[in-house]
Amino acid sequence: MGKVLLLLGGAALLLYLRGGRGKDNSLFLPDPIEDRIDRVVAALNQRFGKRWVDVALDVLQRQVELTMPGAAALVSAVYRAERYYAGQSGAAKKKAAKQALGA
């Protein structure tokens, strides 16, 4: 159970780092969760400066990708499919994500 929670937490973190940073919310994270993360990032920005926080988030993203390459590949494929096939059917997005994963 602990490994599953760690994997889900890492995937959620990658989803935020990949598409949730900035003004627009991530397409994949529920707004209440992302809003809480945004408040933490805003507080860190005030304390340490946006540049340093961005560097730290980039390092964190890279470390999670190295630690969980399978989750990173899945998040990347889903993110690309959602981004490039926005407005199309769920089936088209699913097919694109599968192709990106080589499945």
**Averaged confidence pLDDT in the chain:** 78
Other CB atoms within 10 A of residue 7 CB: 13
pLDDT score for 61: 83
Residue 65 has φ and ψ, to the nearest 5°, of -65, -40
Q: Which tens digit of pLDDT belongs to each residue from 25-58?
A: 676 777 887 888 888 888 999 999 989 988 888 8
Helix (H) or strand (E) holding 85: none
Q: Both tokens of residue 12?
A: 């959620």
Q: For a pLDDT cut of 90, what percent of the chain falls above it?
A: 8
Residue 21 clears pLDDT 80, i.e. is over it: no
Query: What residues contact 65, with CB distance under 8 A and at least 6 apart?
Result: 14, 72
Distance CA 79, CA 70 (A): 14
pLDDT score for 32: 84
Average pLDDT over residues 69-91: 75
Are 28 and 15 in contact, with CB atoms under 8 Å apart?
A: yes
Residue 15 clears pLDDT 80, i.e. is over it: no
List the chain domain ranges.
Answer: 2-101
Long-range contacts, stretch 44-47, CB < 8 angstroms, 24+ apart = none
pLDDT score for 22: 66
